[in-house]
Chains A and B, each alone.
Chain A
């Protein structure tokens, strides 16, 4: 098993390099950091030229990628534009843990910028994911055991409505109902934006209160897909011969469902959860934007808007790495759940 994990990790290195190269090239072509830097004051041509040299944008793209990857503290750069490269660079490169500095938040290291936002996103997304998976398990198992019953049909109906609605619609509707109208009716109402009320401060109670609407919006959308998937997976397993064998042994229904069936059904479910988890790090772009939640999704969109290549690359690489890591974790959980899978 250890050997397998090590091999998978080693295989991940060229993959990640390739991903980073593609993302880097795409990013360079997508935005121009200089265009968004000046703000309201027009930039003088000589300033533009100096900034271009400072950011290394005058170099060919493969040199830029090389500097991003391994740093430029070993290469001299011509900073003053006199045609003589005399100053050593200051970047250490991604492989030495230096993701560069943010262009928008001038001079702040990317790791710090991301580090500020990541906990906000994790608390929002992990809460949603836990609610989605546990809730969908309950609903999925119930629906599978009572296939075509009244509640199965009712739940199916509600969930499909949720599944078919765009998230911004749900987010805005809940805001309209539980904040705007509840306030108007004199009921206790929920906050619409931010993580906490600045007058009260960042207390756990405030954060939970502010999380209710965004978590609901995120969960409602994914709930349908998950619970339908669990339902159909479980139904398929319940039709297997070994379930008939278990029933023929006189085992109670509870034991058949939760030991014999669910352990088999958990394999495909683990796959889906394993694919979804790394993407949580990226945050919920739309939801965070609507609820003004200071998370990764907003950071990402802002970064792209304003050509903050180092931050955007940092976020993308973090997601790429976690996708690879979670794939390996999923495989390990597989082997643990299904004795037929062995990687040695």
Chain B
């Protein structure tokens, strides 16, 4: 997998929103890459720019108020940000598919599930109506929906939340995309259903061989799912590591704090969970210095003055921090 060529490369992506209150600096120069077949997890608290990054890659940001102000999204040697809207439509659904957080609102309530799956096929493939329907049935079966052909004529409200997310997954897989972006697909589901959906996606990913970006704010599910993790804060990538490295050799104070806030089975019960002090950053202010500095327990004068760049400090492990959290010394 390490030798696979990069097929998605995001370079210095910047997205902002113009609101009546001022400019929201949502994504501030995010860079990462993805190899074919790889799974990347994107972690961070609500409002840290995870979703906006992915929506920018898909060019699904509402313009206005949103605007992608800079950067490149190179997908298979093409910069997606330079494509025409029509050319981008050819990428969406066919090459890069996306599943969303809330299956209750992400499906159109007045169209049958069958219609919503087949329209992707009809847009991107020369298949006939019957072939599309057969394929849609097969997809529903693939994601474990019983009696699939019959359920094609049902409407979203006739499915439970978990089943709807399965439908969303089936829909995204319709054209066997080479990249699936999952934007917190299990957040709105209860824990048992969550586990089922994660298992399903892992299984499907193995069979289809697609790459995947999985957005989550739950570090607990990342370990069993991803090859690599990036941690985002206030529209910046603050740490990037192989998944095991991130847990065993945490380099950024924010990641460290996130991990300490996570309940663990192997921790003593009388030990209370640590929350991160302060509140999430105000994205309306153009950031100066490290955005995490006001909440950081390792904060130094330098942190307030200058924002650290994301640099390789160990093999395949990048971090954006002036301080070495293990020694407490400045880098």
Contacts and interface: CB of A to CB of B under 8 A. Distances in A.
Note whether A and B form a binding pair.
Answer: yes
Interface of A: 239-242, 244-253, 255, 259-260, 263-264, 337-340
Interface in B255-301: none
Interface string B101-123: 01001111111100000011001
B113 to A, nearest CB: 11
Nearest to A247: B60
B89 A339 contact: no
A252 B93 CA distance: 11
Nearest to B64: A148
A270 to B, nearest CB: 12
B157 A249 contact: no
Contacts of B168: 245
Interface of B: 58, 60, 62, 85, 88-94, 97-98, 100, 102, 105-112, 119-120, 123-124, 155, 157, 168, 171
Given A241-B100, A248-B58, A252-B89, A263 B123 contact: no
A185 B90 CA distance: 58
A340 B111 contact: no
B109 A249 contact: no
8 contacts: A245-B100, A248-B97, A249-B92, A249-B123, A251-B93, A263-B111, A338-B110, A340-B157
Most chain B beta-carbon contacts within 10 A, residue among A240, A241, A249, A339: A249
B22 to A, nearest CB: 19
Contact of A242 (B98, B105, B124): B105
A255 B60 contact: no
Contacts of A337: 110
Given A244-B60, A250-B93, A250-B94, A264 B108 contact: yes
Most chain A beta-carbon contacts within 10 A, residue among B85, B88, B94, B98: B98
Nearest to B101: A241
Nearest to A338: B110
A248 B110 contact: no
Given A249-B93, A260-B108, 8 more contacts: A242-B107, A244-B100, A245-B171, A247-B60, A247-B92, A248-B92, A250-B123, A260-B111
Contacts of A339: 109-110, 112, 155, 157
B108 A242 contact: yes
By Cβ-Cβ distance, the 5 closest A-B pairs, closest first, are A250-B93, A250-B92, A249-B93, A241-B105, A242-B108
A249 B120 contact: yes
B109 A338 contact: yes
A246 B120 CA distance: 9
B111 A240 contact: no
Q: Is the interface of A mostly helix, strand, loop or mixed?
A: helix
A31 B5 CA distance: 91
A255 B100 contact: no
B108 A246 contact: yes
A253 B92 CA distance: 13
A250 B109 contact: no
Nearest to A243: B108
A244 B92 CA distance: 11
Nearest to B94: A250
Contacts of A246: 108
Given A247-B60, A248-B98, A250-B123, A241 B106 contact: yes
B157 A242 contact: no
Contacts of A260: 108, 111
A248 B157 contact: no
A340 B109 contact: yes
A253 B123 CA distance: 12
Nearest to A260: B108
A253 B85 CA distance: 10
A242 B106 contact: yes
B45 to A, nearest CB: 21
B140 to A, nearest CB: 16
Contacts of A253: 85
A245 B110 contact: no
B251 to A, nearest CB: 34
B295 to A, nearest CB: 31
A248 B124 CA distance: 13
A56 B119 CA distance: 69
B65 to A, nearest CB: 11
A241 B105 CA distance: 6
A248 B60 contact: yes
A331 B181 CA distance: 40
Contact of A250 (B62, B90, B100): B90
A340 B104 CA distance: 13
Contact of B123 (A245, A251, A264, A338): A251
A111 B102 CA distance: 58
Contacts of A255: 119, 123
Contact of B119 (A240, A242, A249): A249
B105 A249 contact: no
Contacts of B155: 339-340
Given A250-B90, A250-B123, A255-B119, A245 B108 contact: yes
A61 B93 CA distance: 72
A187 B238 CA distance: 76
Contact of B110 (A239, A247, A250, A264): A264
A339 B158 CA distance: 10
A118 B102 CA distance: 52
A250 B124 contact: yes
Given A241-B102, A252-B123, A263 B110 contact: yes
Nearest to B59: A247
A235 B114 CA distance: 26
